[in-house]
Structure 1
Amino acid sequence: MYGSKRFHLGELELAVLEYLWSNGDFDAKGVYNTLGKMRGISHNTIQSTLERLFKKKLLMRQKISHAYIYHAAVSRDELMGRMIKDVVKVISKEDTDSMLAAFIDIAAHHTDDSRLDKLEQLINEYRLKN
């Protein structure tokens, strides 16, 4: 799934993943009954979205009786890390200074001091491991 090919997740795909992370394992009908009806989309749209996420290896499934039960194959944190790495790889083109500056800018403007302290702690822990 995550080699040299860049992948994209649409808004509905992210919503389905969020639904499964928050609510646990479901079949297509279960996802449709809540998410599909709320959004006014068809059962087939939910089913094809689940299939796309399965093909992208972001969901796993198990056939029980006549239906597949889907569950997330990756955690929210793991997916976020993969997506950030993907964007950095595509945009930075070896310019890691700009990437780091952008990351610090985002962290400084969207968090409080305790989160910046946590970032500093994580950096120090990483340095100790490596």
Structure 2
Amino acid sequence: MVLGDLEKQVLNYLWQRSPSDVKTVHEALTREKGGSLNTIQTTLDRLFKKKLLDRHKRGHAFFYTPRVERENLIVTLIDNATRDFTSSNENVFVNAFQSYSGQLEEQELDALDAMIQAQREKLRQDKEN
């Protein structure tokens, strides 16, 4: 799955302020950049067809809400990107992440370490059961 810049902006907006209709999203996102109501409508429809948004009709307007959590979408996008460039026996993802981790602050590394430890514990428990 590939997302364009406007699709990402729309999703970020809706994760913070949903449900929203086309007009509200248009007003919020095009204040600085311009753009037509039709472009926003098309983008919302594309995200709906990609099953990333739900929509419900109220009166004459559709109101959109995200169908996926932000974190889950990020995982899916990372998985898709790494799968395109790796085979199942490569550690390319681990190596790429190691390279990226040089940009992280200590707090972020501590949080990541805690998540890794929690995952290791979960794997141990799963093996025991």
TM-score, length-scaled by structure 1 = 0.87
Other-structure match for 2:115: 122
Aligned-partner Cα distance in 2 for 1:95–1:34: 45
Match of 2:33 among 29, 36, 39: 39
Q: 2:46 matched to which residue of 1? A: 52
Residue 123 of structure 1, CA deviation = 1.3
Output aligned runs, 1:4-43, within 5 Å: 7-43=1-37
Runs of 4+ aligned structure 1 residues displaced above 6 Å come to none
The residue type paired with residue 82 of structure 2 is V
Residues 41-120 of structure 1 aligned to structure 2 (within 5 Å):
41-107=35-101, 109-120=102-113
Structure 2 residue matching 1:68: 3-state secondary structure? strand
Mark the CA change 1:115 to 1:96 in structure 2 (over 3 Å): closer, same or farther: farther
Structure 1's unaligned 5+ residue stretches are 1-6
User: RMSD in angstroms over aligned alpha carbons?
Assistant: 1.3
Q: Out of 35-44 and 23-32, give the one that drifted further.
A: 35-44
What secondary structure is seen at the aligned counterpart in 1 of 2:64? Answer: strand
Q: How many residue pairs align between the two structures?
A: 123
Determine which structure has more spread, i.e. the larger CA radius of gyration: 2
Q: Which amino acid aligns with 1:91?
A: F
- Taking the aligned partners of 2:28 and 2:121, their CA distance within structure 1 comes to 46
Does the C-alpha gap of structure 1 residues 117 and 37 become closer, same or farther in structure 2, counting only changes over 3 Å?
closer
Output one character per residue of 1:42-64: Cα deviation in whole Å (capped at 9) or x when no partner: 11000000000000011100011
Identical-residue share of aligned pairs (%): 37
1:61, 1:69 within 8 Å by CA — same for their partners in 2?
yes
Partner SS for 2:107: helix
